[in-house]
Every structure is written in structure tokens, then in C-alpha cells.
Structure 1
Amino acid sequence: MIRRVKYNQIDFEKYTECLENSVQRNWYSQKRILDQLSGNWHVLIYKDYEAVMPIHIYKKFGINFVHMPLFCQQLGVFSKADDPKINDAFLYFLKKNYTVFLYLFNQDNTFSTPLQKKKNYVIPISDYSVLKRKKYFKGRKSTIKASQHLIYKEIEFDEQVMLFFKNNFKGLTKEADWIKLKIYILFLLENNVLKFCGSYFNDSLINLAVLIKDEKQFSLLSLINDEDYKAENGASFLIDKILSLYIHEKSLNFMGSNIRGIEVFFKSFGAELHEYGFIENKFLKRFS
């Protein structure tokens, strides 16, 4: 029922057609994105590309593990209609034939037996005035009101922006991971899918939102804050400005977080919870 197809044997025309017609369609499953983020991936296929599941392979200690590429949030099964029985078959094949370090399915994959869940937050296309009036938290409204002395700008990527990014970005402890992120940003720029939005205080950039744009959605790749200006509430100001300009035509995907403070921040703008399942080998994680 499920078969493994090596990269050089994938019919990418059929693969892409399956993705484009799938109910689970997302950014990360595209060939060009996986080629950039993974460089070592193949596909599990149901029948004649009726459903597909991309797999990234990570090699460590001479062993091949299934893992998620850095900066890749969700993969999983893609098909015209989400079918728990077909998803179960993929999951069974994955567990039986691979050593799984971590694999993240997508928010539209359902299974007969529930999986562990991670959280993602999305604001759907909305009327901004209604969104702010009815769904913003009261405290968030007050914070935004207090930040109106700031200036919003959409800016071009340059060395100054990259320096701000590197000096204030949190979460990457390895220099090699920072290099990967820089390469990914340059790749996204070449493909014309990035938007940089900043908040300024006295002509100084104090907050930067990096958005990946597609036809119907902005995805928040990163929200970077200069902690020296935390009292200016620039992050709240910046997200509110982006919503005021674009939420009537594009949804905003916050790209998830299981950190309580960040989760509350997203929810305070009226974002809706979208959970997605995952499997993880916690024993292997201890030695990563």
C-alpha cells in the first residue's frame, strides 16, 4: 500500500500535483523548500501519488534518522481528502521501517489514535476593525495604544538589517545553525517571498518581523526584538500594524510556540489554536 521512493526516482510532476490539490497544502512540502532545508529527503507514496509524505533523513553516529529539517515546522501526509486510515498506514510504515528522532505531521492530519500535539496559532482573513474590537485582549489594546509614538516601516534587506537580525535573534546556539538561517533567508529573498517590517524609535530599528508571503497567507519566520527597548512595546505595535494593513487579504500564521509567554502573546491578537501531531524518540533526544 505504502512504498518508499528515492529522491532520484520521484515523479516530481505527480508529487507537485498531489501537493497542489491536497487539503493539507503547506509551504514546507514543496520540492524547492525541501531541497533548500533538507538536501537529503525522499517520499513515501500511497498508490499512484494519491497521497504523499516527504521524509527528511539526518545522519549521526553513522546512523540514518528521520528528523525535521531546521526551520521546517510541519510535513506529514498530503492528499485530496484527509483519511485517518491512510494516515495510519503511513504512520505504521514510518515506525516499522525507520529510526525516528522527530517527525511533525501537519494540522490537517488525523489519526485513529491521537498523537502528541504541538501548538500553532493562526489569524484567518478578517475585518481588522472587528478583529481588534472583538478578539484582541484588553491588555493588548492598552499596550498598542501606549506604543503609538513608534514608526512603522517596510524595509529592504541589507547589511544593517542582517546585523540587527544576528545581534538580537534568539534560539540558535550553534554558529552552523546561524549560517543555515542566513543561507535560507538569502534563498527566500532570491525567490521574492520575504517581507521585512520594522518598528522604529527615534530613527532606531527596535523590532523586526520577517514574513514569508504566499498567495493567501503571511507566515512569521521570526519576530526579533532589541531587549534594550522592551519598554516601548514595539512587538505589539508591529504585529498590530501588519494586521491593520494585510489581514483583510491574507491570514497570519504565527508559526507556533509551546512557550507560555509567546503563546499568550499570539492569542492576545485573536489568533486561533491549530494543533498538529508529532512522534518523537525521547531517548534519542537526550543524546542529541
Structure 2
Amino acid sequence: MIKYLRQDEIDVDKWDQCISHSVNGMIYAFSWYLDIVNNRWEALVEGDYERVMPLTPGKKANINYLFQPPFTQQLGIFSTSHLTSQVVNDFIKAIPSKYKLIEINLNTYNKPDSQTTGFTPWLTHELDLISDYDTITKNYSNNLKRNLKKARQSKLSISEHVRPEELITIFKENKGKELKHLTNYHYDLLRRLINVMVYKNTASVIGAYDETNSLCAGAFFVFSNRKAIFYFSATNDTAKETGAMPLVIDYFIQKHAHSHITLDFEGSNDPGLARFYKSFGATQITYPHLFLNKLNPLFRFGLSVIKKLKN
């Protein structure tokens, strides 16, 4: 039986134990992570926490809705045993009816029935690191190999002693300027998440420095449940000219090759990024994006008019 639990009813110890032992556990689903990205999170729980699904609610204009929190690519149903499409459908049906608008991401192990409405497949890319480094690099694209050669000739140096704040600064001064939806709230949230993950010793920061010993690229990797997530990265113009980011990722792959770890590139639906991730030999995998609008037709129309007036 699937039970709906408000936050104060959730046994966080049992919750985290479930995520730790789940066949599809992810760092996004641990209670401490959910506390940071949505401190009002609730849950659907089956049995004695054999299967769980976090619910991340919001409320505007007196409308209860579920949304995907920032820096949380996948959530959905997590289970200590085999997951079927029927289980996925049962959990979706168990979402309380008070949530009139739902836009959330499930995870790669959640396979809804093909006839179930509201689901769209979104993309991520994963690279199994169980093979040795030489075997993995045989699947590198020719373009990636050229970029790595260029990066090595550019006299870049790699370091694991990079302060995460430096990465955030580079990102804000470069790519961040194009992403107008990112506010100080998002950067503060990212800092908090990164600091906690560093404190919990579940993260690795790798950076590339140019000839003047200036940081030009870096990536923040997060480890959980035999996965390493390419969680956050940043580059400046020098990195783009020298191929620094491919060198950072290649360094990570070389260090962790021949281990029971899967590198999750955490995306992407963007064709350019998808092509970049595939150049390392990564496999394209889908996860379900769920959108359900249960608002009455008149209210839906009102919302659409408001959105048009804002644009």
C-alpha cells in the first residue's frame, strides 16, 4: 500500500536507508539534499520504506503544484527491489489530488506504461567506467581526440585543489550572463549544495590552469550509489580556445577507469551538449518528464493569457 506522508510524518532514517539500498538510488533523493532544494518536501511511501517517491510542492495563487527543484535532474520512484511500469503508474496515481499542476522528472529506472499520458522522454548520457582507460578511449570520437591533443599542447595543468567558489565565479562571468533566469537565489542554493557535498566527502573538484596559472575550466563531480555525476562545470574563453574541458573530463575518466562507477553527464536535451557527451563514448539514456495539468479549463485559459502578457 502506498501512503502519502507530510514532511513531519517521514522517518528520515528509513528514508535515507531506502535511497542508499535502492537499485536506482541517487544523491538528489537523500533527505538532506531535499531539505536544501525544497524544505517542504513530502513523500509517497510503500510498505516499510521499500519504495519511496519524494514530492516537491509549491503554492501560488492558491494553487498547489509539484515542480522539479533546481540542481535536481531526476527524482521519481526509488526502490530496493525491481521496478515495473505498473509500480510507476501506481505511484503516479497515488499523488494527492490537491496537486493540480505537476511538472516533474522521474529517473532512468522509472519506465511508465507506453499508453500512460503526460510523459515525455528526456535525455541524459552515461559512460560505464568498468573498462580500463585504453579501452574506454578507443570509443572517443576523432574530434575529441584532436581537442585533447590541442589541450595537451596548450600546456594546461590539471589540479584537484580547486575551490568550488572559483568555478561559480567563472560560470557567472561567462555562461551565466546568457542564462537570465539564474538569480542570486540559484547561486546561493548551488553554493550551499556544493559546500554540503564537500563536507560529506561525496564530491571531487577538478580544474585546468593555463600557462599563467589562471583557472580557465573546472568541473564538480558528485559520487553516490556507484555513480559519478558531472554536476556542475564552468569555462572561460581561454578554455574554449585550448580545449580545457575535454581535458578535465578525460582526467576524471583516466583516474576512475576500471572501477564500478558509471559517469552520468546529467544531460542533455541540447543537441550540442549531447554530441559532446557522446564523443566520450557515452550512451544516450532516457528518463520520463511528467507534465499534468488538472486545472479547470477557465483557469487554464487565464494562466495562458497572463503568460502572454508577461512575454
TM-score by length of 1: 0.90
Identity within the alignment, %: 25
AA paired with 1:180?
Answer: L
AA paired with 1:13?
Answer: D
Q: Return the offset for 1:97.
A: 4.4
Q: Return the offset for 1:118.
A: 0.8
2:107 is the counterpart of 1:98: no
Structure 1 residues 228 and 21, CA gap change in structure 2 (3 angstroms):
closer
- Check conservation: 1:22, 1:81, Cα contact below 8 A: no
Partner of 2:281: 270
Paired with 1:17 and 1:231, the residues of 2 have a C-alpha distance of 45
Partner of 1:131: 136
Q: Return the offset for 1:50.
A: 3.1
Q: Return the offset for 1:225.
A: 0.7
Matched residue SS, 2:288: strand
Paired with 1:146 and 1:168, the residues of 2 have a C-alpha distance of 22
Structure 2: state its 5+ residue gaps. Answer: 294-299
Partner of 1:191: 200
- Check conservation: 2:126, 2:265, Cα contact below 8 A: yes
Partner of 2:222: 212
Matched residue SS, 1:82: coil
Paired with 1:49 and 1:199, the residues of 2 have a C-alpha distance of 43
Paired with 1:9 and 1:98, the residues of 2 have a C-alpha distance of 19
Q: Return the offset for 1:22.
A: 2.2
What whole-Å deviation, never above 9, does each CA across 1:183-211 have from its counterpart, x for those lacking one?
A: 22222222222211111111121111111
AA paired with 1:218?
Answer: A
Partner of 1:83: 84
What whole-Å deviation, never above 9, does each CA across 1:52-111 have from its counterpart, x for those lacking one?
A: 111001222332210111101111112211022121111123384422341111100112
Paired with 2:230 and 2:238, the residues of 1 have a C-alpha distance of 22
- Check conservation: 2:25, 2:225, Cα contact below 8 A: no
- Check conservation: 1:105, 1:277, Cα contact below 8 A: yes
Which residue among 143, 158, 161 is the counterpart of 1:155? Answer: 161
Structure 1 residues 238 and 261, CA gap change in structure 2 (3 angstroms):
same
Q: Return the offset for 1:132.
A: 0.5
Q: Return the offset for 1:230.
A: 1.5
- Check conservation: 2:28, 2:74, Cα contact below 8 A: yes
Matched residue SS, 2:13: helix
Structure 1 residues 192 and 269, CA gap change in structure 2 (3 angstroms):
same
Structure 1 residues 187 and 176, CA gap change in structure 2 (3 angstroms):
same
Structure 1 residues 56 and 280, CA gap change in structure 2 (3 angstroms):
same
Partner of 1:252: 263
Paired with 2:144 and 2:165, the residues of 1 have a C-alpha distance of 32
Partner of 1:36: 36
Structure 1 residues 183 and 262, CA gap change in structure 2 (3 angstroms):
same
- Check conservation: 1:24, 1:109, Cα contact below 8 A: no
Partner of 2:297: none
Q: Return the offset for 1:251.
A: 2.4
Q: Return the offset for 1:18.
A: 2.8
What whole-Å deviation, never above 9, does each CA across 1:153-181 have from its counterpart, x for those lacking one?
A: 11142754553343235345322222221
Partner of 1:68: 68
User: What count of residue pairs does the alignment treat as equivalent?
Assistant: 287
Q: CA RMSD in A?
A: 2.3
Matched residue SS, 2:229: strand
Paired with 1:72 and 1:141, the residues of 2 have a C-alpha distance of 31
Structure 1: state its 5+ residue gaps. Answer: none
Matched residue SS, 1:152: strand
Matched residue SS, 1:94: coil
